């Protein structure tokens, strides 16, 4: 698709599914997908996920490999998606005559890279546990391997964070690869981002398995709300940050983010038995 065709498509009115499939509305589409998944699908997936995790803890080879690949995906999907989408994102802004304000989004208080790199450290620690169990079992891997893995993790978390937040800086020249300039690379980047978000939602939905009683007073209700917002800050916003670059100024954005997380919010704030449907 040429820049002129893309500009013409933006100028035409879109309704229904066509509106959701617009590139600048991918965040809206993501929130809707997450809401539907949280409402109807995620509880079933979470129970299966925990079953695989338990089998991995009991020493099952294939379950351990599945968990290792899952956690590894949490590390690589976001930087891969950012790399695949970066040129397309800034080309779309340039064609529309807009300039991205990186101070407002990429380095705002909600989008500080410190949040992202801290999450990366936690994820890498989980990857390391599964990797050592997978390759060494109960044997001692040796101090040299352990130290090397720690150093590698620190370097990778830094590189991963840099790749993600480089997304918000316009490239100085087009990618050398024809694939990176082709529309299919952006589609693949979107798939990576969607998969990354759904993977994080499995972790986020673990809150729904807690048998929480109903809050006894307003203070307890407010306390739960504060904890929930803090966890959402760490879990929901980092995978969503790419699309916030497009829709942070739209009023519906924050309402849709709230809607996407509402099944979990209701559970934690009000207190629902973990055996209920959602």
Tens digits of residue pLDDT in 240-258: 888 987 887 788 888 898 8
Helix axes 237-247, 113-136, angle to 10 degrees: 140
Do 72 and 123 meet the contact criterion of CB atoms below 8 Å apart?
no
Q: What's the predicted TM-score (pTM) here? A: 0.82
Closest to 214 measured CA to CA, from 173, 264, 153, 268: 268
Mean pLDDT on 120-146:
76
Closest to 43 measured CA to CA, from 193, 227, 212, 267: 267
List CB contacts of 244: < 8 A, sequence separation 6 or more: 27, 105, 111, 237, 253
Burial of 236: CB neighbours in 10 Å, binned 0-12, 13-18, 19+: buried
Mean pLDDT on 146-174:
90
Q: What is the pLDDT of residues 37-63, one digit of tens each?
A: 998 998 899 989 989 988 988 888 899
Q: For position 107, what pLDDT does the model report?
A: 46
190 or 238, higher pLDDT: 190
Residue 277 has pLDDT above 60, yes or no: no
Q: For position 109, what pLDDT does the model report?
A: 58
268 or 162, higher pLDDT: 162
Percentage of the chain lying above the pLDDT 90 cut: 30
Alpha-carbon gap, residue 12 to 14, rounded angstroms: 6
Do 193 and 78 meet the contact criterion of CB atoms below 8 Å apart?
yes
Reported as a pLDDT band with limits 50, 70 and 90, residue 271 is low
Reported as a pLDDT band with limits 50, 70 and 90, residue 273 is low
Do 218 and 96 meet the contact criterion of CB atoms below 8 Å apart?
no
The answer to which of 13-17, 83-87, 174-178 has the lowest mean pLDDT is 13-17
Reported as a pLDDT band with limits 50, 70 and 90, residue 110 is low
List CB contacts of 77: < 8 A, sequence separation 6 or more: 192, 193, 195, 196, 199
Q: For position 7, what pLDDT does the model report?
A: 47
């Amino acid at each position: 698709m040429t820049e002129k065709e893309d500009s013409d498509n933006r100028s035409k009115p879109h309704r229904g599914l066509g509106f959701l499939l617009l590139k600048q509305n991918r965040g809206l589409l993501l929130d809707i997908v997450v809401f539907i998944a949280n409402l109807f699908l995620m509880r079933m997936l979470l129970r299966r996920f925990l079953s695989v995790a338990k089998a991995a803890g009991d020493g099952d080879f294939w379950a351990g490999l599945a968990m290792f690949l899952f956690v590894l995906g949490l590390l690589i999907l976001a930087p891969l998606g950012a790399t695949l989408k970066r040129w397309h994102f800034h080309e779309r802004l340039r064609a529309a005559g807009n300039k991205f304000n990186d101070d407002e989004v990429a380095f705002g208080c909600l989008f500080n890279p410190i949040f992202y790199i801290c999450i990366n450290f936690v994820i890498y620690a989980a990857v390391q546990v599964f990797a050592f169990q997978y390759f060494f079992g109960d044997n001692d891997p040796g101090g040299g391997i352990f130290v090397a893995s720690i150093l590698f993790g620190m370097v990778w978390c830094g590189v991963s964070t840099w790749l993600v937040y480089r997304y918000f800086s316009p490239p100085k020249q087009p990618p050398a690869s024809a694939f990176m300039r082709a529309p299919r690379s952006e589609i693949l980047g979107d798939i990576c981002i969607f998969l990354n978000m759904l993977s994080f939602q499995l972790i986020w939905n673990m809150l729904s398995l807690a048998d929480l009683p109903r809050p006894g007073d307003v203070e307890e209700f407010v306390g739960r709300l504060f904890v929930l917002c803090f966890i959402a800050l760490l879990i929901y916003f980092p995978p969503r940050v790419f699309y916030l670059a497009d829709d942070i100024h739209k009023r519906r954005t924050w309402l849709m983010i709230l809607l996407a997380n509402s099944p979990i919010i209701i559970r934690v704030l009000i207190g629902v038995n973990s055996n209920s449907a959602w």
